[in-house]
Amino acid sequence: MKMVSSTPVPELPKTDPRVKLIAAKIKKENHKADALIEILHTAQNAYGYLPMNVLKYISTELHLPPSRVFSTVSFYHFFSLKSKGEHTCLVCTGTACYVKGAQLILNEIEKQFKLKAGQVTPDNKLGVQVARCIGACGLAPAVVLDEEVFAKVSADDIVHKINAKIVAP
Amino acid sequence: MNRQDLQTIIYAEKAKDLNNKYKHKLCVCCGAGCISSGSEEVLKKLQEEVKTRGLESEVEVISTGCMGPCNQGPLIKFLPEYAIYQKVDCSNIARIVQSQLVDKKPIEDLLLFSDSRPKPFINAKEDPFFKKQHKIALRNCGHINPERIEDYLVHDGYKALDKVLFQLSPEEVIAEIKQSRMRGRGGAGYPTGLKWESVYKYVSDQKYVICNGDEGDPGAFMDRSILEGNPHRVLEGMAIAAFAIGANKGYAYIRGEYPLAIKRFEMAIKQAKKLGVLGTHILGTEFSFDVEVRIGAGAFVCGEETALIASIEGKRGTPKPRPPFPAESGLWGKPTLINNVETFAGITPIINNGGEWYSEIGTPKSAGTKVFALAGKINYSGLIEVPMGTSLREIVYDIGGGIQGGGEFKAAQTGGPSGGCIPAEHLDVKMDYDSLISLGSIMGSGGLIVMDKSSDMVDVARYFMEFCMDESCGKCVPCRVGTKMMHDLLQKICDNKGTSIDVARLEELAVYVKETSLCGLGASAPNPLLSTLRHFRQEYDSRIDLE
């Protein structure tokens, strides 16, 4: 992961409702540094990912060095520095799903939509990710499409469902 | 609210039950598994159906947590008959209600396991899937509405906390837990009573209780189901622990991947505070205890206690060398008790029924019951709870209904990335802490993945090593570099490019990593490799020196 240090980070528009949401959370947590992860969760929920200027804002508000904020973000899988795409497809690769062929499903999705796990299509319509385990092991293999869990899926099935999502207006 | 007020509420709720307000109770499983099979729609349809038939005064419809057979969802359970309907489709609901409730004639071909058993059981409790189980931690899961504290109160909820506060001293609580011989359900199996006692002994102005709900191992969903199905049970266990060790603040660290568990636990905290069983001056006593939820951000290593503490402090989740143990210096340097979700869920029955009662269940060295998440190539996957010492064969064949498609059992993986694979010749192994260790696996938190002949064991080892390599926090060299080297060698063997020297190198590396890593993640990362080498050596041999 590379930090783009040469490009200046644009100021955050303070009137943005998403910024207000983060500001409220910071206030609720009394600007305490130990609430950093909680605040990052709020920010990611609001934006879908963690833009650099948001991280800068959080570091100022919590009186933490930006390096400390960035190192925390990069440590945890849950946080993303890039947009995850308009629609997200999360393929569970936990043990039960692995035993039931999750890799084949992932391969097919990667092939059909010409991208790799962790990437977003050039038109930003679809992002594909893998999860370590979503805890739906009784229903393996499982795929989460825009927060909706699909159980016992086949590769064709899910490709079809994704197509329906990204073509729909 | 004081003790009397709470009693009044409990009596009122119990009176409702005793007066037979409802003749029938219909439970719709709304565990995470069933929700993804469409159970929320089934719940709505069922409520409508009951209403259109004008049965609301005698039929209660509730949504519950996980009932167990996740693979068969959505599920509707009819009480008091205990008839469970499986794979319920909204179009079938009218027919089911008519036959089961009105005509009193169960529809056999829609009952649980009707598609696989010669004759399904009308009372599902008679089915081996349930009959072989002994539910303690999961007792009310699937029977009560997890979003209503009143449901929990009726089922002896907060009775143990009441007993502890008004009848027992902290020393007596600890003695009871010690007598139960319960061991930590998070994986390591450290005696719970001893852990409580050591935190109790440290004198400090502030102590903490942490509930570890960072169920990171792939293939495990026990904690998730408990938190979703009966959050108050965990909360009550935490409060009892806090009373015993002298803490007034607790944290529940729950995986970010479990939004429903987080929602229900937060709801439980709110309800408990409102009723005065949590917060300041609990039930009018001097004891105060507050709990906050901390949401995990996806790092397997945070299941390790020192890493989890760092994460609650808002930092990177990297472990610290022990000692000092958290019991002495944990969260913000204060004495801290960390137990797993399932451990806390087992506390209230011990207080209510006595430590001796619990110690008589299971085996001499592993008392009580264990929850397993049964998945993989097995007919009935789902959530089960059995007495310690139940054989793997009983779990796979009697409860799990055998291998899918009538296939042959090859191995069962326990303990996730820190565990190992148990081969067919050890199917009769007793599932307890020590027997599993003697086979090169571990109990772990309870994930149990069944594999058939289609699984390639070298690839299984590679899969888990890849997981550990990704999840290594990078702080210590043996784990950071060792897992990478072992993964690359395993990949090479999987690609049929390996040699006998590579296998020897793997064995050597495994020992180094095991002995020199800083925390449990690294120290146990070689386990899947070592156990497959031990039990499935021929699969490695058949893939090396092919060129």
Domain A87-167 bears CATH identifier 3.40.50.1820: no
Domain B149-358 bears CATH identifier 3.40.50.20: no
Across the range A8-21, mean pLDDT stands at 83
Specify the pairing of strand B447-452 against strand B409-414: antiparallel
pLDDT digits (tens, 9 = 90+) for B363-421: 999 999 999 999 999 999 999 999 999 999 999 999 999 999 999 999 999 999 999 99
Between chains, do A79 and B374 touch, taking CB under 8 Å as contact? Answer: no
pLDDT digits (tens, 9 = 90+) for B143-190: 999 999 999 999 999 999 999 999 999 999 999 999 999 999 988 899
pLDDT digits (tens, 9 = 90+) for A62-109: 999 999 999 999 999 999 999 889 999 999 999 999 999 999 999 999
Ranges of beta strands (E only) in B74-230 are 76-79, 83-85, 208-213
What is the arrangement of strands in the sheet containing B83-85, beginning at the earlier edge strand?
B59-64, B24-29, B76-79, B83-85
B423: closest CA among B410, B432, B436, B435? B410
Cross-strand pairs, B85: B76, B111
Residue from A63, A139, A147, A149 whose CB has the most chain B CBs within 10 Å, to mutate = A139
pLDDT digits (tens, 9 = 90+) for B270-327: 999 999 999 999 999 999 999 999 999 989 999 999 999 999 999 999 999 999 999 9
Residue count of chain B, please give it: 547
Q: Which residues of A touch B (CB under 8 A)?
A: 32-38, 40-41, 71-72, 75-79, 93-96, 98-100, 131-140, 142, 148-151
* Sign of the four-CA dihedral B91, B93, B94, B100: positive
The full set of domain ranges for chain B reads 22-129, 149-358, 364-452, 457-541
Radius of gyration of chain B (CA): 24
* Sign of the four-CA dihedral A114, A117, A122, A126: positive
Domain B457-541 bears CATH identifier 3.30.230.10: no
Q: Estimate to the nearest angstrom the gap between the alpha carbon of B283 and the chain centroid.
A: 30
Q: Is the predicted pLDDT of residue B335 greater than 60, yes or no?
A: yes
Q: What is the pLDDT of residue A11?
A: 78
Nearest-CA residue of chain A relative to B455?
Answer: A99
B63: closest CA among B229, B247, B312? B229
Between chains, do B33 and A78 touch, taking CB under 8 Å as contact? Answer: no
pLDDT digits (tens, 9 = 90+) for B424-476: 999 999 999 999 999 999 998 899 999 999 999 999 999 999 999 999 999 99
The full set of domain ranges for chain A reads 17-75, 87-167
Host H or E run for residue B391: none
Rounded Cα distance between B167 and B183, Å, is: 25
- On chain A, the residues whose CB falls within 8 A of the CB of B300 are 132
Rounded Cα distance between B24 and B48, Å, is: 16
**Alpha-carbon distance A46 to nearest alpha carbon in chain B (angstroms):** 15
Between chains, do A151 and B295 touch, taking CB under 8 Å as contact? Answer: no
The CATH architecture to which B364-452 belongs is Roll (3.10)
At the top level of CATH, which class does the domain B22-129 belong to? alpha beta
Residue B446 in contact with residue B373, Cβ under 8 Å?
yes
Residue B158 in contact with residue B6, Cβ under 8 Å?
yes
Nearest-CA residue of chain B relative to A132?
Answer: B218
ipTM of predicted assembly, 2 dp = 0.89
Nearest-CA residue of chain A relative to B381?
Answer: A138
Residue B208 dihedral angles phi and psi, to the nearest 5°: -130, 150
Residues 374-393 of chain B with CB under 8 A from chain A are 374-377, 381-383
Q: What is the pLDDT of residue B162?
A: 95
Percent of chain A with pLDDT over 90: 76
When pLDDT is cut at 50, 70 and 90, the band that residue A7 belongs to is low
Percent of chain B with pLDDT over 70: 99
Q: What is the pLDDT of residue A167?
A: 82
Considering only CB atoms, A35 lies closest to which of B217, B256, B314, namely B314
Across the range B231-260, mean pLDDT stands at 96
Across the range B213-217, mean pLDDT stands at 90
Q: What is the pLDDT of residue B338?
A: 97
Q: Is the predicted pLDDT of residue B19 greater than 70, yes or no?
A: no
Q: What is the pLDDT of residue B17?
A: 66
Q: Report the helix count and the strand count for chain B, using DSSP H and E.
A: 24, 13
pLDDT digits (tens, 9 = 90+) for B78-132: 999 999 999 999 999 999 999 999 999 999 999 999 988 999 999 999 999 999 9
Residue given tokens 């729909």 in the structure block = A168
Q: Is B413 on the interface with A (CB under 8 A)?
A: yes
Residue type, B202: Y
Between chains, do B381 and A136 touch, taking CB under 8 Å as contact? Answer: no
Q: DSSP character for A10? A: P
Residues 315-344 of chain B with CB under 8 A from chain A are 315-317
> In 3-state terms, what secondary structure has residue A152?
coil
Residue B28 dihedral angles phi and psi, to the nearest 5°: -105, 120
What is the arrangement of strands in the sheet containing B290-295, beginning at the earlier edge strand?
B290-295, B249-254, B208-213, B336-340
Q: What is the pLDDT of residue B545?
A: 76
Q: What is the pLDDT of residue B195?
A: 97
Q: Is B456 on the interface with A (CB under 8 A)?
A: no
Residue A105 in contact with residue A141, Cβ under 8 Å?
yes
> In 3-state terms, what secondary structure has residue B164?
helix
Peptide bond into B349 cis (omega under 30): no
Q: What is the pLDDT of residue B8?
A: 83
pLDDT digits (tens, 9 = 90+) for B55-93: 998 999 999 999 999 999 899 999 999 999 999 999 999
Q: What is the pLDDT of residue B12?
A: 79
Residue ranges in B421-526 assigned as alpha helix (H): 433-438, 457-471, 477-494, 500-516, 520-524
What's chain B's average pLDDT? 94
When pLDDT is cut at 50, 70 and 90, the band that residue B547 belongs to is low
Across the range B8-21, mean pLDDT stands at 73
| Beta carbons within 8 Å of B418's beta carbon, 6+ residues apart | B187, B217, B442, B444, B520, B521, B524, B525, B527
Residue A9 dihedral angles phi and psi, to the nearest 5°: -85, 125
Considering only CB atoms, B71 lies closest to which of A95, A135, A138, namely A138
